[in-house]
Amino acid sequence: MIDLHGITKRHGTLTALDNVDLHFGPGLVALLGRNGAGKSTLLSLMAGLALETSGVLELENRSLGRRRSALRAAVTLLPQDLSLDPRATAAELVDYLLRLRGRSVHRVAEMFELFGLGTVARRPLGELSGGTRQRVGLAYACAADTPILLLDEPTQGLDPWERLTLMRHLAEAGSTKTIVCSTHILSDAEQIASRLVVLHDGRVAFDGSAEKLIAAAPPLYELRCEHHDLASLREQGTIVRVARDEHGHYTVRWTPGDDRPPPGTAVEPTLQDAYLALHPGP
């Protein structure tokens, strides 16, 4: 439905996206990457809110050139920080946003019920908690009922039950819609997305299933150690998990950085292990 061919986006001397090639059809895709990897920039381009520096963006196999009206009509983007008028009520905001875009309001009541907003629909947004305001944004995004839905960190502020409600709805909607969900919560990505796209420094570092990412993980070892051993392990490889027990001992999962026989016992990686090993942190 949306194709990106060699998309590059620069902000002055900063390259936010670098020669990105991606295809998005019906289904749910989890967009992963560290802060600053280019996720929000990618979503803004796909929503028609920004123009690429170079490359070609296509909708339904048609190049858009510099025109974005058709793309904006087909896409709903829920940004990470949705600016809200604190004086407007939840119902007024959603109704206003939908009518502003020429979208039907017939699914508003359904989405308010789905996200548990019935009792706060007439309350000013300034009186609502951050998690409740997030649910108002989700109600709008889902009620817009566009064929493409882009969500930037949609589960922030949601409790486990609210997250489950959203995940169930997205899993169902993904059978017919193109849904791209940016998240740092790997359990959410693993639960509902059949495809993971990982960005790193503006480039596509991985594109495939969770199983494929786990299979591509380097050898992983687990060992018990003391605090003074951690610095040595960091120098010799990449620590992807560390836990301290009540006695002050540490259990560490790590990937060695060379071919020397590593200490510890070989273990099967989880998605988090594989993801962290893909691009080690500082």
| Residue 182 backbone dihedrals phi, psi, to 5 degrees | -80, 130
Question: Would the CA dihedral through 184, 187, 193, 198 be positive or negative?
Answer: positive
> Cα(241)–Cα(233) distance, rounded to whole angstroms?
12
pLDDT in tens, 162-216: 999 999 999 999 999 999 999 999 988 988 899 999 999 999 999 999 999 999 9
CA angle 60, 63, 64 (to 5 degrees): 100
Question: Residue 170's pLDDT is what?
Answer: 93
CA max distance for the chain: 65
Strand ranges inside the chain, DSSP E? 2-11, 14-24, 27-32, 54-59, 62-63, 75-78, 148-152, 178-182, 195-200, 203-208, 221-225, 237-244, 250-256, 265-266
Percent of the residues in the chain that have a pLDDT greater than 70, as a whole number: 99
Contact between 60 and 84 under an 8 Å Cβ cutoff? The reply is: no
Question: Residue 281's pLDDT is what?
Answer: 65
In this prediction, residues 83-111 reach a mean pLDDT of: 93
2-208 folds as Rossmann fold (3.40.50)
pLDDT in tens, 249-282: 999 999 988 877 788 899 999 999 999 988 766 6
Percent of the residues in the chain that have a pLDDT greater than 90, as a whole number: 83
Strand-pairing partners, residue 198, are 32, 206
In this prediction, residues 40-66 reach a mean pLDDT of: 95
What average pLDDT is seen over the chain?
A: 93
Question: Residue 124's pLDDT is what?
Answer: 94
Question: Residue 20's pLDDT is what?
Answer: 98
Q: Which residue in 164, 147, 162 sits closest to 73, CA to CA?
A: 147
Question: Residue 282's pLDDT is what?
Answer: 60
Record the tokens describing residue 128, joined without a space: 């609502």
Judge whether residue 60 has pLDDT over 70.
yes
| Domain extent listing, the chain | 2-208, 218-278
Contact between 80 and 138 under an 8 Å Cβ cutoff? The reply is: no
In this prediction, residues 106-131 reach a mean pLDDT of: 94
Q: Coil, strand, or helix at residue 68? A: coil
Side chain identity at residue 225, one-letter code: C
> Cα(203)–Cα(21) distance, rounded to whole angstroms?
9
Q: Coil, strand, or helix at residue 55? A: strand
Contact between 94 and 108 under an 8 Å Cβ cutoff? The reply is: yes
Give this prediction's pTM: 0.91
